[in-house]
Structure 1
């Protein structure tokens, strides 16, 4: 059963990945790439948080370690995002 859930997550991710260009093409011209990136991060982060909350397999130590890794990745991604937005 668990393998099927993970396959479902992959299919959902593929669906969102495939519809990004369509959404950008149909969006108003005033919408910036930064807005699309922020929205994708919001949806993706919310989905991952929901997946962790549903599985409840992650211990507190694993969640703290994941938060540390995420914050370190953010320090690398943030300058690139600022560079590409300007």
Structure 2
């Protein structure tokens, strides 16, 4: 898991994201990885959908949109890189 988070940070920085965005994305991806309890190479789209639907209730719609962006970035730039 640590390797995936390091790769996430590297990809975000290479693409010019602010440190605030790097920290925020890392926070939510770390929560996602903890919640799934799966090895990174076994995570699938349904895990992300379940996390958004069930794991992050109580957050505002804007925060949920941010979480969705973080998950999309993680999927495209870390899982499928």
TM-score (normalizing by structure 2): 0.34
Pick the structure with more helix per residue.
1
TM-score (normalizing by structure 1): 0.32
User: Bigger radius of gyration, 1 or 2?
Assistant: 1
